[in-house]
Amino acid sequence: MAKTEVILTHNIVGLGGESDQVKVAAGYARNYLFPQGFAIPLTGANKRRLEVLKQRRGEREAHELNTMTELSKSLTKLVCVVTVKTGEDGKMFGTVTAGMIADQLKTQFEVTLDKRKIHLEHTIRTLGEHDVELRLHADVVTTLKIRVESSTPPPAVTTRAPEAKKEEPARTEKRGRRPEAAEKPEAEEKKPRATRSERPARTERAERTEKPERGPKGHKPE
């Protein structure tokens, strides 16, 4: 396959950066790079444009470095919340991906970040806080704190209302004593006791039958 040498005017992932001289397939250059304006043929006239391209590249990289440095300072102060689905046992369905983190940065903080700059050193499969490495620039690496939360509501816990304590009847008397009888209706007012003088005279006892006087011995009364 024929090769041709070109000068890149833009960064091409996997190929090179602006002002780089690279060799590519002739068909690729002719059908894609040249029509899109991503490269120019390596000729004597175009070599004189290298200095302009290098200067423009230096300015762009300096601006990008400053931008990423400021962004890294802001990101270290943030906590990005990622919501996932979990089962009843609290275990996650699946894992947290770089794309999910990039989406939440855009939604929560309006930060647009290429997911390829988010490097997950280990698979995140548990709820809680995790540290994620961000490679914002060749010279700028920072850490973002994320908190993984469950979107599944916890199971409802039913609790019984505390039973009301039964009130024990108040003890009115000590053991062994009978409860006082219900109050008797007030007795009728007693009539004042008659004095001895007012009392009706008692009926005199019937006079005893007088014994006949005994006469002389052996004499019976008539």
Residue ending a domain, choose from 88, 123, 150? 150
CA dist., res. 121 & res. 217, Å (int): 159
* Backbone dihedral region for residue 46 (phi beyond 0: left; psi -120 to 50: alpha; all else: beta): alpha
How many structural domains comprise the chain?
2
For residues 58-64, average pLDDT: 89
Query: Rounded to whole angstroms, how far apart are CA atoms 116 and 63?
Result: 20
Of 81, 117, 79, which is closest to residue 98 (Cα–Cα)? 117
Residue 180: pLDDT band (50, 70, 90) is low
Residues 85 and 128 in one domain: yes
For residue 205, pLDDT over 60 is answered with: no
At 134 the pLDDT is 95
In this predicted structure, what is the pLDDT of residue 13?
83
On the question of pLDDT at 161 being above 50, the answer is: yes
Last residue of some domain: 150, 165, 191?
A: 150
165 located within any domain:
no
Higher local confidence (pLDDT), 212 or 150: 150
Domain, as residue range, for 90 = 73-150
Q: What is the pLDDT of residue 81?
A: 96
Is residue 68 one of the residues assigned to a domain? no
Which CB contacts under 8 angstroms, 24+ apart, belong to 188-194? none
Please tell me whether residues 134 and 82 are part of one structural domain: yes
Q: How many CB atoms lie within 10 A of CB 147?
A: 13
- What is the pLDDT at residue 187? 46
Residue 58 has a pLDDT of 87
Instruction: Give a yes or no: residue 132 inside a domain.
Output: yes
Residues 89 and 127 in one domain: yes
Q: How far apart are CA 57 and CA 62, in angstroms?
A: 9
The yes-or-no verdict on residue 182 having pLDDT over 50 is no
Kindly tell me if the per-residue pLDDT of 197 is higher than 70. Answer: no
Q: Does residue 58 sit in helix, strand or coil?
A: helix
pLDDT grade for 107, boundaries at 50, 70 and 90 = very high
Rounded Cα distance between 213 and 220, Å, is: 9
Percent of the chain with pLDDT over 90: 41
CATH of the domain at 21: 3.40.5.10
Q: For all residues of the chain together, what is the average pLDDT?
A: 79
Euclidean distance between the first and the last CA atom of the chain, given in angstroms as a whole number: 194
Supply the pLDDT for residue 175: 54
Q: What pLDDT shows up at residue 222?
A: 46
Q: Is the pTM of this model over 0.75?
A: no
Q: What is the mean pLDDT of residues 90-102?
A: 91
